[in-house]
Amino acid sequence: MKAFVPTGDPAEPVVLADVPEPTPRPDEALVKVEAFSVNRGETFKLEQPVPGERPGKDIAGLVVQPAADGSGPSGITRVVGHPMAGGWAEYAAVPTDALAELPDSVGVLQGAALPLAGLTALRLLRCAGPVLGRRVLLTGASGGVGHYVTELAAAAGAQVTAVTRDPERGARLTELGAADIVHDVADAQGPYDIVLESTGGPALSIALARLAGRGTLIWFGQASRTPATLDFFDFFSGPESAVVRHFHYLDADTRLDDDLTALVRLTAEGRLHPEIGRVTDWADTATTLTDLRERRIRGKAVLTLS
């Protein structure tokens, strides 16, 4: 089959190559991939690829071989999947506990845009706890996670302030329910009950200063790729006794398939709207990866395998 293989070359981070078709484990289904989306973090990993590892975590397509142990879909079924690797290919072996069925009302492009960003947003808000009536500051709101968080949090009754440098994205986040848009975290007017921080670097300490006393900052990313520095005594200027919590989306008490099913249901009901910034095919993969890494794509980049 055809699959994208990392090269380690920044000018051409992946090449399309012939590789063996995967042999599913008993608890895995074989999925014919019709579309996959790319996450910016995956482009970072391509800079120093792990030998033998192939990228790809967000896919949508058809189950063509059900799992041998009888779990998951029992026949040819439209699905969205979240394998840990190997999804940028014609076929992928996906654990059945990382699959959810796609109804006819949700297309493969929408499905492929859901997994990593949607799971992160859903689980991040669960980590934050009840948000009804609470003020929430969200940094790095332009990305896939940001728009899902904004829509889900606003629907749950939060008053969301979204930080984005892009006025166009700011307008869209307002449509999705953001109460306020600022273009620099320093312009955010606190105090906030919850800060959801994804950029790291100096933005983290600035966002922390906007936190209410005994509030919570959840650190779920470092898009700036710059470490953050915190000063113990800065907490006394406002966010006294605050909680700073690290977050990883796979550290959850719920199953991937259950949460994927919830995301698909919300999409089918028109309550969640995957933002697709670019749709392309095999031929433009290298350009898409570069543009995504350089933040020239707003929303998810989805590739079709036509």
Least confident of 83-87, 197-201, 234-238: 234-238
Q: Please give the full DSSP string across 245-291, using - where no structure is assigned.
A: EE--TT--SS-HHHHHHHHHHHHHTTS----EEEEEEGGGHHHHHHH
pLDDT tens digit sequence for 104-161: 999 999 999 999 999 999 999 999 999 999 999 999 999 899 999 999 999 999 999 9
Q: What is the DSSP string of 81-144?
A: E--SS--SBSEEEEEGGGEEEPPTTS-HHHHHTSHHHHHHHHHHHHHH---TT-EEEESSTTSH
Tell me how far apart the alpha carbons of residues 68 and 287 are, in angstroms, rounded to a whole number.
38
- Per-residue pLDDT averaged across 181-207, rounded? 96
Average pLDDT over residues 184-197: 96
Point out which residues pair with 117 in neighbouring strands.
none
Confidence of residue 306 (pLDDT cuts 50, 70, 90): low
Mean pLDDT (the chain) is 94
30-75 confidence digits (pLDDT tens) = 999 999 999 988 988 999 999 999 999 999 999 999 999 999 999 8
Residues whose CB falls within 8 Å of the CB of residue 270, separated by 6 or more in sequence, listed in order: none
